[in-house]
Amino acid sequence: MSQITKEEIRQPENLVYKKTELLTDNPLSYCPGCGHGTAHRVVMEVIDEMGIQEQTIGIAPVGCSVLAYEFMNVDMQQAAHGRAPALATAVKRLMPEKFVFTYQGDGDLAAIGTAETIHACNRGENIVIIFINNGIYGMTGGQMAPTTLPGMKSSTSPYGRDVALMGNPLKITELIAQLPGTLYVTRQAVHTPAAVRRAKRAVRKAFENQKLNKGLSFVEIVSNCNSGWKMTPNQSNEWMVENMFPFYPLGDIKVND
Partner 1 sequence: MRELKLMKGNEAFAEAAIRAGADGYFGYPITPQSEVMEYLMAEKPHERTGMVVLQAESEVAAINMVYGGASCGKRVLTSSSSPGISLKQEGISYIAGAELPCLILNVVRAGPGLGTIQPAQSDYFQATKGGGHGDYRMIVLAPSSVQEMADFASLGFDLAFKYRNPVMILSDGAIGQMMEKVELDEQITRLTEAEIIKNTPWATTGKTKDRERNIITSLDLDSAKMELHNIHLQEKYRQIEENETRFETIQCDDADYLIIAYGTSARISQKAVDLLRAQGIKVGLLRPITLFPFPSKPIAELANRVKGILTVEMSAGQMIEDVRLAVGCKVKAEHFGRMGGIIPSPTQVVEAMHQKIIGG
The residues that touch partner 1, with contacts defined as CB under 8 A, are 53-57, 59-60, 66-67, 69, 72-80, 83, 86-91, 93-95, 98, 115-116, 118-119
Beta bridge partners of 102: 59, 129
| Residue with smaller CB distance to partner 1, 59 or 244 | 59
Q: How far is the CB of 103 from partner 1 (least distance, A)?
A: 14
Rounded to whole angstroms, the Cα distance separating 20 from 44 reads 7
| Residue with smaller CB distance to partner 1, 73 or 224 | 73
Closest CA to 167 of 146, 140, 152, 143: 146
| Residue with smaller CB distance to partner 1, 51 or 246 | 51
| Residue with smaller CB distance to partner 1, 98 or 201 | 98
Q: How far is the CB of 230 from partner 1 (least distance, A)?
A: 24
| Residue with smaller CB distance to partner 1, 77 or 235 | 77
Q: How far is the CB of 162 from partner 1 (least distance, A)?
A: 30
| Residue with smaller CB distance to partner 1, 61 or 142 | 61
H-assigned helices in 95-178: 106-107, 114-123, 163-166, 172-177
Q: How far is the CB of 139 from partner 1 (least distance, A)?
A: 11
Ramachandran assignment for 152, one of left (phi > 0), alpha (psi -120 to 50 degrees), beta (any other) = beta
DSSP letter string, 5-58: PHHHHTSGGG------TTB-SSPP-SPTT-SHHHHHHHHHHHHHHHT-GGGEEE
Q: How far is the CB of 87 from partner 1 (least distance, A)?
A: 3
Rounded to whole angstroms, the Cα distance separating 153 from 144 reads 8
Q: How far is the CB of 231 from partner 1 (least distance, A)?
A: 26
Taking CA atoms, 184 is separated from 107, 149, 152, 256, in Å, by 22, 25, 30, 6
CB 22 within 8 A of CB 55: no
